[in-house]
Amino acid sequence: MIVTTEEFGRTRDGDPVKRFRIENSQGTSFSVLSLGAIINSVQLRPEPGSSPVELTLGYSSVKEYEQNAPNFGATVGRVANRVAGGRFELHGEHYQLECNAPGNHIHGGYTGFGRRMWDAELQAASSEAGVRLRRVSLDGEDRYPGNVEVELTVTLNESNELRFEYRAVTDKATPINLTNHCYWNLAGSATKDIRDHEVKLFCDTYLPVNERQIPTGELRSVKGTAFDLTSSCRIWERMDALGGGIDHCFQVRGEAGVLRPAAQVVDRSSGRRMEVETTTAGLQLYTGNLLEGELERGSAGNARVLPAHAALCLETQSFPDAVNQPKFPSIILEPGSEYRQTTVHRFR
């Protein structure tokens, strides 16, 4: 394993941002930043001696990541996805979060975990290497209750498995729902879009939403609908049937808390395949519907204006708005308990 560390830049407050890069013997690599625990790059080498291919969207400067409206590569928290009206009640207390989306709270608020500094240290071994990132989210941060200690360890092994292991503890009851927000394009991040990617989800049900993308509380079968991705199909077929894009949560088949298949993505033009396994109950599939016009510079600095659907996200998480949906699995973390989540991306 090849492990390197460098200064990526400095924040507006002058804090140095470190970039850690891990590469295995096959030339597969990832880079993560101490700002936002952001995955800055994931690259695959098609064959020995060839140039690596970048599979994710990103930026080339700290300044851009401090804005990062699309959340390129960010670790999202305290609560990923949407909270209706930014409001919830917990143990008799009412909380009002920031409404940083139309009428709703999304991805932890205007700052969230993805725009804050993390402590980071390398974790290296002969067969795998990674980075352990930690931070303390103080009581009241982004208007959430409780002091929360958060840890994320990202590792790469010689089997081309990129593993995310999340952990959190709190001193006061608080909602926790963490995920990573990488945008994937297996054809290469510089290519046009992901419409011809073949996608399969190990999900028999999905969460219908209202006009503000808030779940109605129902779990509905995908059978006979455009949300049926239980068999591999080109994603444009489902996107077009749904009016041009997907941004919905699906229930992953099997028991939550157990690592199991969640998704498979294939780019036939290159033969690249990504398999996703997770312990979470849900998987949010987002087909980059709002990327059009976004300026992306990539890890190589190749500036370009993105089209819609330039990449897709597979956000492993608990169900959106679970704090307001009594029928959904709870996302409340109590003192004395531990939040854990594991997600694996396997590249072939």
Q: Which amino acids are annotated catalytic?
A: 181, 315
CA–CA distance, 173 with 224 (Å, rounded to integer)? 40
CA distance 154 to 123: 9
Which residues in 34-141 belong to E strands, given as ranges? 39-44, 53-54, 75-76, 82-84, 87-90, 93-96, 104-106, 119-124, 128-137
| Angstrom distance (rounded) from CA 286 to CA 183 | 9
Buried b (16+ CB within 10 A) or exposed e, 43-77: bbbeeeeeebbbbbbbbbebebbbebebbbbbbbb
* φ, ψ (nearest 5 deg) of residue 45: -100, 115
The residue among 108, 99, 182 whose CA lies nearest residue 142 is 108
- The runs of H, that is alpha helices, within the chain are 62-67, 235-241
CA distance 337 to 58: 35
Q: How many alpha carbons fall within 13 Å on the CB side of residue 60?
A: 10
| CA atoms within a 13 Å half-sphere pointing along the CA-CB vector of 310 | 24
Mind giving me the DSSP string for 134-190? EEEE-TTGGG--S-EEEEEEEEEETT-EEEEEEEEEESS-EE-B-EE---B-TT-TT
DSSP 263-276: EEEEETTTTEEEEE
